[in-house]
Amino acid sequence: ISWMADYSIKFDGCHSIVQYAEEGGGGEEAMSKTRRQHLARYKMCKSDACNTNCKGEYLVDLGIFVDAYTEFTMELQEYQCEQVRENCNCEYANDDEVCESGCYQEAGLDYCVENQDEYEDEFEVQRYIECVEMEMNNQQYNQYGQEIRYFIGPACSSDGKSVHLQVYSDETCSTKASNGIYQSNNYYGKPLPYSTESLIQTNCISCEEKDEDRNNYNNYNNGYNNNNDREIADICEETYEESAKCEDGMDISYPRVADCNYIKNTVYKQSEENEGGGTAAVAFAWIFGISTVILAAYAYTLYKDKSSGTIDLSKQEGGGTMA
């Protein structure tokens, strides 16, 4: 995978597909034999033209991608904060903390400022990358005296363009729980972080590991360097190893195309059917409703016609009582 040093990884969307689960998935009393799997879709793009030269189709478990992405983001933010702090001239400042805070804000790095919100400080995003049971402020029970349990995990948005955290009613994170469950069951009474803001951005991330000491060494040696000597960033290497790959048309050595049929004709097709299902259901509901009104009106018209044409035998001329 040395070729990846010239590429950047770019999140391109997500999919939620239904698949068979041997041990049962979500659903009432966990009796369903299907579960919903969330997948991240990404592309590999030439780093010198990332937004215009993206090739390949890759799919990986959403939890794996979110884990790699958040780990990369935290390391990058830590590095950026350190660089600003080291170059912030607070030698003659009355308050070093206030001085550093000003440097962070001037650099546009508000996340470097120590969080004063205890709730935000305690919430760890990476804890919920996999389906994890939600901590309840007050334990609830159903009508049978059983504990009601909820779980938190990543979810694909309805339009497939963003990733959020979501509360589920089953341990496989397949069945969405009612809105407001998290807010009404946590100590601070606040909504679930990243329930509206996306966990993943669509920016390009270079697959070449940036190492200042290594770069200085290479420059000192007149740049005698090739792809085999360049390290690949964990977010690219680890994600790539776990992904289904369709590298048809990519200008790389030994492109992998074995998963192309699965990606394009199975996952994408099912996603399109799921997205179209909602529209079809709404259309059917409208058609059914309109048809019902028309049929009711028609039935009423027939009833009126029949009523007006009814003959009362007792009032016919020459009529009498039968003996």
Report residue 170 CA to chain centroid gap: 17
Same domain, 254 and 279: no
Side-chain-facing half-sphere of 213: CA atoms under 13 Å: 0
Asked whether residue 68 is domain-assigned, the answer is yes
Of residues 249 and 307, more confidence is placed in: 249
Q: How far apart are CA 143 and CA 12, in angstroms?
A: 44
Q: How confident is the model at residue 265 (pLDDT cuts 50, 70, 90)?
A: confident
Same domain, 171 and 292: no
pLDDT at 291 over 50: no
| Most confidently modeled range among 82-96, 241-255, 301-315 | 241-255
Q: What number of helices (H) and strands (E) belong to the chain?
A: 8, 8
pLDDT at 44 over 90: yes
- The backbone region for 276, taken as left when phi is positive above 0, alpha when psi lies in -120 to 50, beta otherwise, is alpha
Same domain, 128 and 197: yes
pLDDT at 22 over 60: yes
Asked whether residue 170 is domain-assigned, the answer is yes
Please count the structural domains in the chain: 2
Asked whether residue 316 is domain-assigned, the answer is no
* Domain span holding position 268: 263-305
* Secondary-structure percent of the chain, ordered helix, strand, coil, rounded to 5: 40, 20, 40
Which range is least confidently modeled, 57-71, 74-88, 104-118, 176-190? Answer: 104-118
Confirm if 167 and 181 have CB atoms less than 8 A apart: yes
What pLDDT score was predicted for residue 221? 46
Same domain, 55 and 122: yes
Asked whether residue 323 is domain-assigned, the answer is no
Take residue 254 and report the two structure tokens written for it.
Answer: 């030994």
Residue 168 CB contacts under 8 Å (≥ 6 apart), including other chains:
26, 131, 150, 151, 152, 153, 174, 175, 176, 177
Confirm if 183 and 189 have CB atoms less than 8 A apart: yes
What pLDDT score was predicted for residue 117? 52
Same domain, 72 and 194: yes
Take residue 140 and report the two structure tokens written for it.
Answer: 């609830």
Q: How far apart are CA 290 and CA 217, in angstroms?
A: 75
Q: Average pLDDT for residues 180-194, to the nearest whole number?
A: 85
Asked whether residue 83 is domain-assigned, the answer is yes
What DSSP character marks residue 265?
I
**Nearest residue to 14 (alpha-carbon basis) of 61, 50, 52:** 61
What pLDDT score was predicted for residue 168? 93
Of residues 38 and 22, more confidence is placed in: 38
Q: How far apart are CA 149 and CA 222, in angstroms?
A: 61
Same domain, 137 and 245: yes
Q: Average pLDDT for residues 198-209, to the nearest whole number?
A: 92
Q: Average pLDDT for residues 188-209, to the nearest whole number?
A: 90
Q: Average pLDDT for residues 150-160, to the nearest whole number?
A: 91
Q: How far apart are CA 59 and CA 264, in angstroms?
A: 11
| Most confidently modeled range among 172-181, 234-243, 266-275 | 234-243
pLDDT at 223 over 80: no
Report residue 9 CA to chain centroid gap: 17
Same domain, 246 and 108: yes
